[in-house]
Chain A
């Protein structure tokens, strides 16, 4: 697999008097994968995300994006174009007076010629299914729609990576589904690499790979199916469990002989059904 981000021995603190918020972090991100980073509030997830597009430059260690070092001022704008970031609050990242102005803002900053901007604008709005709202003012949009506009602004810059920093946590369930579906399409159909910082374990179980953070360190890394087998560790670092696992544990407590294998609700339903047929 082709590496797209490589993080080596990264440590970071906000100032001399403060403790390290990231401690000796090492990991890589593969091109085209969906990587989720989970951990409780204050575990260092968001700080780590800000290191990945050079918003924060680590005091120790290096971050390379597509071969560029984030500490190199010569290439920082190229890195920021390659790595788009969607933040938590939809209202804090809307700068344009209309949807199309907002999507164009990033392209203007990167000095794209007008003809290219016009072409990419309509393409980006089409990808996030917001083309009908090009002239709409932000206050007429739902939270989910605003986040889709934020994603369009990123997509218009033709990035390689999109980072979602709890991008769905302020949305209602419908808005949340809209965003996940949009990003999933970009990931599958357009090979965009996705890094998602999230508390939503039902979202995380669908990712290709998972990093578990606690106290500024990566404590586990692997496929969701393997990681959610160590339920004790997850509880210890203050994380919830996916619904199917909580349900399985509740059934086991009532002596239903279930295995460790189910991660999705559908799998647990199938397992229960098979079990009942053989009883």
Chain B
């Protein structure tokens, strides 16, 4: 499902002393089946932006289309259920939303809300728990006896069980240890490829944005500052720094080496392997000139 924003503006607390324009005339396109990361410092409008995609927020002006579904600022109230069935939203710390007696019941809750029968919901819950890698031995236990990382996977299974085509992830790895972080990210990368899910990830981690995405959108002051491939976006080092954003640590490292070599250029590399190649190239190049 293609997602398009046309001149979308969102104002919080309209006509109050606290009025704040959180999105300012945003136009952008997220292609179906892509992995898009949204970066930007706190208060830049990242979360406000993604909350429009499943109708949690309504635009103050402009229109958003998600597949055939259209939300227009001038439109009357509409039933958002069909949209929310297609667009799953994994909130920050989703494990705080677990509430059922057993893991399987918790995962069934989502699909049953969308009118799926008991047996179908159970079937989907089992599939989703398998997808997130939680062994069947756990399914009839309480979700509250699990570790933080496991609880998060159960919460994610709850979203997957609705069978969305688009998944929004709001800082999915916040508060996890390195192992848990790696697990969650490779889970979504895998789901993205296997189920052709469109993934939209809000993140503060520039390396994750660079490595996993097809498209990176850098937000600043309620507007997209850059929206392009990771290579293109992260080549604008100065611009990103100016709005309080970093570049991936691989590039930080390369820039230190380039500076030592007295070079002005920017080299984009995101994986350790590519960075090592860039280092070797650079050293050879400098040597040839001596």
A residues lining the B interface (CB < 8 Å): 40-42, 88, 142-143, 166, 169-170, 172-175, 199, 238-240, 243-244, 246-247, 249-251, 253-254, 256, 265-266, 268-270, 272-273, 275-276, 279
Contact = CB atoms under 8 A, between A and B. Distances in A.
B179 A238 contact: yes
Given A238-B177, A238-B178, A276-B286, A42 B147 contact: yes
Nearest to B147: A42
B279 interface: yes
B133 interface: no
Interface hub of B174, B246, B273, B279 (most chain A Cβ within 10 A): B279
A254 B286 CA distance: 18
Interface in B131-165: 147-149
Contacts of B57: none
A254 B280 contact: yes
A42 B279 CA distance: 38
Contacts of B178: 40, 199, 238-240
Contact of B42 (A42, A174, A269): A174
Contacts of B176: 41
B147 A41 contact: yes
Given A254-B277, A272-B279, A243 B253 contact: yes
B151 to A, nearest CB: 11
Contacts of B41: 172, 174
Interface of B: 41-43, 147-149, 174-180, 204, 244, 246, 249-250, 252-253, 256-257, 260-261, 272-273, 275-277, 279-280, 283, 286-287
Sorted from nearest, which 6 A-B pairs have the closest CB atoms? A240-B178, A250-B272, A250-B276, A276-B283, A41-B177, A238-B179
Contacts of B257: 269, 272-273
A249 B272 CA distance: 9
A251 B273 CA distance: 8
Contacts of A41: 147-149, 176-177, 179-180
A142 B179 contact: no
A273 B260 contact: yes
Contacts of A273: 257, 260-261
B42 A175 contact: yes
Contacts of B175: 88, 166, 169-170
Nearest to B272: A250
B209 to A, nearest CB: 12
Contact of B276 (A166, A253, A269, A275): A253
B279 to A, nearest CB: 6
A250 B277 CA distance: 9
Given A41-B148, A41-B176, A246-B272, A265 B277 contact: no
B248 to A, nearest CB: 10
A42 B178 CA distance: 13
B177 A40 contact: yes
Given A42-B147, A269-B260, A247 B42 contact: no
A250 B279 CA distance: 11
A237 to B, nearest CB: 10
Contacts of A268: 253
Contacts of A172: 41-42, 204
Contacts of B204: 172-173
Nearest to B274: A250
A247 B253 contact: yes
A213 to B, nearest CB: 12
B90 to A, nearest CB: 16
A247 B277 CA distance: 11
B287 A276 contact: yes
A279 B273 CA distance: 22
Contacts of B244: 174
A273 B290 CA distance: 13
A279 B283 CA distance: 10
Given A276-B286, A276-B287, A250 B177 contact: no
Contacts of B249: 243
Contacts of A174: 41-42, 244
Contact of A40 (B42, B179, B275, B276): B179
B216 to A, nearest CB: 16
Nearest to A38: B177
Contacts of A240: 178
A243 B279 CA distance: 15
30 contacts: A40-B180, A41-B148, A41-B149, A41-B177, A41-B179, A142-B42, A143-B42, A169-B174, A169-B175, A174-B244, A199-B178, A240-B178, A243-B249, A247-B253, A247-B272, A250-B273, A251-B279, A251-B280, A253-B276, A256-B276, A265-B252, A268-B253, A269-B256, A269-B257, A269-B260, A272-B279, A272-B283, A275-B283, A276-B283, A276-B286
